[in-house]
Amino acid sequence: MKIALIGYGKMGKMIEEIAISRGHEIVSIIDIDNTADFDSDAFRSAEVAIEFTSPTAAYGNYLKAFEQGVKVVSGSTGWMTEHKADVERLCNEEGHTLFWASNFSLGVAIFSAVNKKLAEIMNRFPQYAVSMQETHHIHKLDAPSGTAITLAEQVVDGLDRKNGWQLGITYNANGTKTGSTECPDDKVRIDAVRRGEVPGIHTINYDSKEDLISITHSAHNRRGFALGAVLAAEFTAEHEGLLSTDDLFDF
Ligand SMILES: NC(=O)c1ccc[n+]([C@@H]2O[C@H](COP(=O)([O-])OP(=O)(O)OC[C@H]3O[C@@H](n4cnc5c(N)ncnc54)[C@H](O)[C@@H]3O)[C@@H](O)[C@H]2O)c1
Ligand SMILES: O=C(O)C1=N[C@H](C(=O)O)CCC1
């Protein structure tokens, strides 16, 4: 399959390696210094563009790819609050295709299934207080992570006593602590830690006076994210509309 890459950083480079190893051809690579290449025959020849850039660049890149008639797979996080409604409109009403996931790894798809089940069980046990923590490398621009937001939304969907999430304490790259543990009873608190080169750790805690139930997903590296993005591109070549990992990993 012909693939274009938008964003040639840590993820873009790993996706290139995995895509080639699976027999795909990279026909165009766009990064910040050659964005004019959207308007090129090479880019237009791609069946799918895989986009991993930044919270501020992602939405504009979707628009540019759609303008060229190219489907997009994207893992960029931090853009949803502002642009989710318009992206849904573009895909559901204007015929464009975007496969977006806050986390492309199989491990997080499995972890999500456990998270949803655990949240439902906890409706019967109000003595357990839920909170979350995510830890990522110091270069990460958004907090909380996209994965943490998705996991919190799953908790909110399953657990009747919660109706939203709130960013709690943030430990930034130089160890400075900001934010607060104060959180309304009906919100899930998410703490965010920025440390070293951590690829991504997500923990969901259910704490009672007697004990603590804790589930954690810890990525050893970025390969799981990159492989998932290439699998999503293979899926997207055959499908239309707004797609996500629920379509790809059917638990
Ligand atoms: N969904 C997932 O599974 C998953 C996994 C890892 C990272 N991410 C997300 O993917 C994004 C990128 O992560 P990364 O680790 O590759 O970051 P990175 O900083 O290593 O790479 C980003 C690249 O995008 C380029 N870029 C920035 N603005 C651009 C623009 N307007 N047009 C084209 N290129 C542009 C940068 O120059 C850089 O090369 C982040 O939002 C991160 O949160 C998601
Ligand atoms: O490295 C990052 O940045 C990651 N971003 C995603 C998120 O925000 O959840 C996925 C994990 C790695």
- The domain limits of the chain are 2-104+223-248, 106-218
User: Would the pLDDT of 139 be above 90?
Assistant: yes
Residue 250 confidence class, pLDDT cut points 50, 70, 90: confident
pLDDT at residue 213, as a whole number: 98
Architecture of the domain made up of 2-104+223-248: 3-Layer(aba) Sandwich (3.40)
Q: Whose CA is nearest to atom 15 of ligand 1?
A: 10
User: Would the pLDDT of 251 be above 80?
Assistant: no
Question: Mutation test of ligand 1: which of 18, 30, 40, 53 has the most ligand atoms closer than 8 Å to its C-beta?
Answer: 53
Specify whether 239 is catalytic. Answer: no
Nearest to 38 by CA among 63, 11, 59: 63
Residue 130 confidence class, pLDDT cut points 50, 70, 90: very high
| CB contact set of 204 (below 8 Å; sequence gap of 6+) | 115, 118, 130, 131, 132, 151, 155, 214, 215, 216
Nearest to 203 by CA among 130, 134, 142: 134
pLDDT at residue 162, as a whole number: 98
**What is the DSSP-derived secondary structure letter of residue 6?**
E
Specify whether 136 is catalytic. Answer: yes
Question: Of these residues, 24, 71, 96, 136, which one is catalytic?
Answer: 136
User: Would the pLDDT of 156 be above 80?
Assistant: yes
Question: Mutation test of ligand 1: which of 6, 11, 62 has the most ligand atoms closer than 8 Å to its C-beta?
Answer: 11
What is the ipTM for the molecules in this complex?
A: 0.99
Q: What is the mean pLDDT of residues 75-86?
A: 96
Distance between CA 135 and CA 148 in Å, rounded?
A: 10
pLDDT at residue 219, as a whole number: 98
pLDDT at residue 146, as a whole number: 98
pLDDT 10s digits, 52-80: 999 999 999 999 999 999 999 999 999 99
Q: What is the mean pLDDT of residues 130-144?
A: 98
Please tell me the pTM assigned to this model.
Answer: 0.97
Q: What is the mean pLDDT of residues 220-230?
A: 98
Instruction: Say which CATH topology domain 106-218 has.
Output: Dihydrodipicolinate Reductase; domain 2 (3.30.360)
- Residue 147 exposure: Cα atoms within 13 Å on the Cβ side: 29
3-state secondary structure of 166: strand
pLDDT at residue 175, as a whole number: 86
pLDDT at residue 69, as a whole number: 98
203 lines ligand 1 (CB under 6 A): no
Q: What is the mean pLDDT of residues 217-242?
A: 98
Distance between CA 170 and CA 157 in Å, rounded?
A: 25
In this structure, what token pair is assigned to residue 233? 């591109």
pLDDT 10s digits, 6-61: 999 999 999 999 999 999 999 999 999 999 999 999 999 999 999 999 999 999 99
- Ligand 2 atom nearest the C-alpha of 148 is 9
In this structure, what token pair is assigned to residue 189? 């608190």
Q: Do domains 2-104+223-248 and 106-218 have the same CATH topology?
A: no
